[in-house]
């Protein structure tokens, strides 16, 4: 931690009855990072952002996160209005550099200056050319500005939007549910259910965080999935990611994916470029691929993925269908390496494994 931050906030200490614990700079930013995640799946085309205001008494005076169902208010403005008069002389911790532009809402820099905030600490500078320049405006107004506290952690949390804003392409998450030997179905095609209920609930959280869920006609015909988000309680949000079907085959009109519970878009053929164009035109931050071996292999082959969530059940399916069976790898040096980020055990009695992997070059 930088010396100046240390000077402003005492280190956290044990709470004595009646004396609340003071919050230090790192904890405040960590809190901002945590609450920013509440906006996942509800911020597109905008970023997820969290803001925490620490008052002169060293206590949290207000906090907020960005989501689209709040008139598009930015996190800083939500936190400032919660803090009210306590924002005067306070420090604002925010995950993204405050915006400097008149967009859907007025510049956050103006609101911060007007509220009498003394210091602003942000984690990641804003790469959006329209909004950029907040740090300079705040400095010009005499506010102490510090950048970079928990930068890597916060940038990882906001990785989808940061990728989208820099490349115009959405962040692509592949979800795979397989047996221990990497099969997504038995030889006869039966596949319901390989992974446990807890794994499936966990995967539903992934759905809730994405703007679109992509599958293939093969999966629609084999499994008749609805690809909706059910039973996810977060801030009373309703999650309705767009469902996208790729492929040439006709699907029955009464397929669940064609029901009214969310928008569905069909792309004839397997042109991933067309999907990328659609994502760009909608400014989606993140898409989730929940498809069978053919389409999953296509994304892997094309390098069109950023991360993989592989849910594995401790069961063997022998000569069933491999999730990457169409990946035409003939020799070891053609292999596709991924970076293993974490491996978690899900469940209690019936345990599954969740591997979180990143595309190796990212
Ligand atoms: C947000 N929420 O909490 C912050 C943002 O389209 P606008 O006018 O809402 O502006 C969006 C830009 O503002 C966004 O791309 C980012 O650069 C900046 N900061 N945006 O949606 C927030 N702090
Ligand atoms: Zn703003």
Counts for the chain of helices (H) and strands (E), in that order: 11, 15
Planar angle of CA 256, 285, 270, nearest 5 degrees = 55
Q: Could you give the dihedral angle defined by the CA atoms of residues 6, 10, 11 and 14, in that order, rounded to the nearest 10 degrees?
A: 180
DSSP alpha helix (H) spans, 85-216: 108-114, 134-140, 151-157, 159-167, 197-208
- pLDDT grade for 11, boundaries at 50, 70 and 90: very low
**Active site includes 235?**
no
DSSP code, position 309: E
Percent of the chain with pLDDT over 90: 85
Could you give the 3-state DSSP secondary structure of residue 11?
A: coil
Is ligand 1 within 6 A of the CB of residue 354?
no
The strand pairing partners of 65, in sequence order, are 50
Distance from the alpha carbon of residue 58 to the mean position of ligand 1, in angstroms = 27
| Element at 218 (helix H, strand E) | helix 217-223
**How many angstroms separate the CA atoms of 327 and 294, rounded?**
8
**How many angstroms separate the CA atoms of 316 and 269, rounded?**
33
Instruction: Answer whether 66's CB lies under 8 Å from 83's CB.
Output: no
Distance from the alpha carbon of residue 105 to the mean position of ligand 2, in angstroms = 7
Q: What is the pLDDT of residue 97?
A: 98
Distance from the alpha carbon of residue 251 to the mean position of ligand 1, in angstroms = 39
Q: What is the pLDDT of residue 3?
A: 40
Sheet containing strand 91-96, edge to edge, reads: 60-65, 50-54, 91-96, 119-124, 144-147
- pTM (predicted TM-score): 0.92
Is ligand 1 within 6 A of the CB of residue 131?
yes
CA 108 to ligand 1: nearest atom: 23
Look-up: residue for tokens 């491996």?
Answer: 343
Q: What is the pLDDT of residue 191?
A: 83
CB atoms near residue 289 (< 10 Å):
27
Is ligand 1 within 6 A of the CB of residue 74?
yes
Give the residue, 49 or 22, on which the prediction is more confident.
49
116-129 tens-digit pLDDT: 999 999 999 999 99
User: Would the pLDDT of 304 be above 60?
Assistant: yes
Q: What is the pLDDT of residue 360?
A: 87
176-230 tens-digit pLDDT: 999 999 999 998 888 888 999 999 999 999 999 999 999 999 999 999 999 999 8
Substitution site in 46, 68, 284 for ligand 1 pocket (most atoms within 8 Å of beta carbon)? 46
Is the peptide bond between 187 and the residue preceding it cis, with omega within 30 degrees of 0?
no
Q: What share of the chain is helix, strand, coil (3-state, %, to 5)?
A: 30, 25, 45
Is ligand 1 within 6 A of the CB of residue 67?
no
268-278 tens-digit pLDDT: 999 999 999 99
**How many angstroms separate the CA atoms of 51 and 147, rounded?**
14
195 CB-near residues (< 8 Å, 6+ apart): 177, 178, 311, 312, 313, 352
Mean per-residue pLDDT for 240-263?
Answer: 97
Could you give the 3-state DSSP secondary structure of residue 285?
A: coil
Is ligand 1 within 6 A of the CB of residue 104?
yes
Is the peptide bond between 356 and the residue preceding it cis, with omega within 30 degrees of 0?
no
Mean per-residue pLDDT for 313-330?
Answer: 93
The strand pairing partners of 356, in sequence order, are 309, 342
User: Would the pLDDT of 362 be above 60?
Assistant: no
Nearest Cα residue to atom 3 of ligand 1: 74
Distance from the alpha carbon of residue 127 to the mean position of ligand 1, in angstroms = 11
Pairing of strands 60-65, 50-54: antiparallel
CA 94 to ligand 1: nearest atom: 23
């Amino acid at each position: 931690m930088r010396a100046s931050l240390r000077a402003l906030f005492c280190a956290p200490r044990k709470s004595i009855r009646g004396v609340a614990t003071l919050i230090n700079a790192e904890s405040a930013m960590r809190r901002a990072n945590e609450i920013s995640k509440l906006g996942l799946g509800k911020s597109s085309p905008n970023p997820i952002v969290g803001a925490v205001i620490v008052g002169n008494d060293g206590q949290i005076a207000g906090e907020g996160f960005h989501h689209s169902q709040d008139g598009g208010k930015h996190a800083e403005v939500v936190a400032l209005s919660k803090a009210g008069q306590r924002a005067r002389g306070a420090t604002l911790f925010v995950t993204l550099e405050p915006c400097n532009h008149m967009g859907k809402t007025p510049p956050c820099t103006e609101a911060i200056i007007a509220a009498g905030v003394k210091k602003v600490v942000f984690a990641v500078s804003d790469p959006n050319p329209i909004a950029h320049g907040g740090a300079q405006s705040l400095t010009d107004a005499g506010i102490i500005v510090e950048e970079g506290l928990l930068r890597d952690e916060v940038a990882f949390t906001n990785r989808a939007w940061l990728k989208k804003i820099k490349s115009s392409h959405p962040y692509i998450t592949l979800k795979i549910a397989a047996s221990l030997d990497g099969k997504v179905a038995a030889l006869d095609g039966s596949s319901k259910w390989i992974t446990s209920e807890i794994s499936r609930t966990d995967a539903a959280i992934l759905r809730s965080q994405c703007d679109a869920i992509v599958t293939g006609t093969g999966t629609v015909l084999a499994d008749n999935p609805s690809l909706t988000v059910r039973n996810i309680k977060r801030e009373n949000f309703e999650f309705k990611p767009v469902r996208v079907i790729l492929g040439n085959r006709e699907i029955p009109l009464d397929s669940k994916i064609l029901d009214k519970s969310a928008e569905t878009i069909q792309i004839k053929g397997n042109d991933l470029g067309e999907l990328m164009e659609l994502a760009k035109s909608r400014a989606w931050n993140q898409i989730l691929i929940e498809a069978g071996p053919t389409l999953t292999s296509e994304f892997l082959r094309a390098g069109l993925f950023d991360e993989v969530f592989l849910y594995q059940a401790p069961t063997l399916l022998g000569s069933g269908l491999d999730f990457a069976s169409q990946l035409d790898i003939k020799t070891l040096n053609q292999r596709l390496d991924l970076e293993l980020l974490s491996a978690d055990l899900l469940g209690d009695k019936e345990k599954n494994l969740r591997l979180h992997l990143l595309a190796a070059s990212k």
